[in-house]
Structure 1
């Protein structure tokens, strides 16, 4: 109760001081002269009262240590009980409680570490057991738990590194694929109308067309053999003006600013 009252007084004093220094009438009541000096005097006094109540309300080191021990907070209990001077009336009892806290500290840490281990909180295991004394019972088990936790953390780090490397590789592949597709965008798709028109024109200008009179009617089953920024290679079945069909290989490649077309009708 006193702790709550002290906190309220301290909070009230701070807020009132801030507001009162801005405008005294906000925090002073009555009809008297309202000045910042009066605000400072009144609420400084309230602040001091709050601090005094807070000090009074705080439990002694002995009580705090005793409560911490009952709450199984052995480390805090040891800190509070060790701070009690030898001339304190509770010194003898505090020493007995201190011995009890020391006796229970490491077994409790070992149990907490076991629980953390089952919950895969390996960093917590190491934190709890790192300074486990060799003379304490359970030291061997604590050492084994630390070793296992370190191994698990190393494995987790390896997995994280592998995942990071995989993400980096995926990003690099995606970037390369994007650049490849961008470079390939200048070449017509193997089964597109533009590809057929380009091959038809190329064959017409070749000796096969100019000298022998062959002409391409259409390409069926056109498929991509390979594709790179340098060249796209395709194959398919060419239907020619002689009424027959032949395997055809054709490709598109960049020559400076131009796209060059090469085609070979197999069997002619």
Structure 2
């Protein structure tokens, strides 16, 4: 890896929530960050502005994933923004969730989740390989739902595929000293989980079944990603890092 002030990163789904926190944390470490987003122009520009106000460097890249031409659109914008620089860090964070059980979700909803959560990261990694510098980092954002048997079956299936993608790529990319790892958040305070903000009792219930006694925050995930993106993690690859705060590891509230 090169010095942090000369590194570059692409963070997908970086206009808000966990993705924004990751982009801001990497930028704080000196990384030049491509802030990918799908539709929310204002949110993406706010993220870039916040990074720049803090002394970092960033640019926005718009591309809706899961539609025809998505990868071409993404990389056209990425390469324009990088202006010939290689890519050091790729964070596949963008994802969609349909909180329905197997008997509720429609085939169309399932197909869309597969397109955004599985197909897009796979094709993004493939397209990024010529840009990725030897010794680079690929970090996939999965979910604690692949460890815990929750009712969002289809969502867990897509994230389970992403977990497998991480493991199977390690040997291929290891020849170039590129590490590939997964970070699995738990129930985190983002726009994807508005009920944590709107329902204090539900938030308290989540905290009660979490070993560390609270719900997750975007910065909790961003700090783990920053470690994996750093030179300190040069000897870590093919790993699934649980960043749930110990969600559902044992009986909530029980103290022998």
Task: Identify whether the pair has TM-score above 0.5, normalized to the shorter chain.
Answer: no
**Structure with the bigger percentage of helix:** 1
Q: TM-score range by the shorter chain?
A: under 0.3
Q: Which has the larger radius of gyration?
A: 1
The higher-RCO structure (CA 8 Å, 6+ apart) is 2
